[in-house]
Amino acid sequence: KLGFACNLKCRICGHSNSSAWYAEDKKFETVPALEEIDYGFTLNRNFWIDQIDNLENVKYLTFAGGEPFLDKTHIHLLKKLVDTGRTDVFIHYNTNGTLYNEDIIQVLDNFDKVGISFSIDNVGEKFDYERNGSNWYVVADNIQKFSQLDRTRYVLDVFPTVSVFNILDLDSVLDICTQ
């Protein structure tokens, strides 16, 4: 978990997992100090570079958030893995789909397998409502960009959060998966 930096205020989330919610809640209620809930707050480039010595047996790394594609520091760990010939590590992201980061993709292209899991709970205006601050058309465009990557190496899937907001609309999410 790269921290809680996130560009959305999803209705299924809260201030301990989203910096956007944290900023909102801070206006209206007492919230814990940033350092208490966001361990990513104190991480920097050197933290990730230092971790490479502890990864000789690692086979799988998953990056989540908040929104992991907002984080620019973990790319140093990915580059170090590539530099040390550890391109056999399966790299996985859990993303809200709002960002397509070319710099990270260029590094990920070096790995044998990369998984991208999209948190897609609905489509269109209903998606925008559930994932407050998002734009479905941007997300759909980003999914299209990801789907154009080398599919022998990039594994794409969708992980919806089922809730009262979307229980009757899951067929539209299935349609997106099929497409």
pLDDT digits (tens, 9 = 90+) for 27-74: 777 776 666 665 555 555 566 666 667 777 889 999 987 889 988 888
Angle at 39 between CA 50 and CA 78, to 5 degrees: 40
Contact indicator for 136, 178 with CB cutoff of 8 Å:
no
Start-end of H helices in the chain: 19-28, 34-37, 45-51, 75-83, 102-108, 124-130, 136-147, 170-178
> What CA–CA distance (Å, rounded) separates 69 from 169?
27
pTM of the model: 0.84
Residue 131: what residue type? R
Name the residue among 34, 93, 35 with its Cα closest to residue 61.
93
Residue 46 has a pLDDT of 62
Three-class DSSP category at 48: helix
Q: Which residue reads 């814990």 in tokens? A: 32
Q: Does an H or E element contain 90, and which?
A: strand 90-95
Residues of the chain with pLDDT under 70: 2, 14-16, 18-22, 32-52
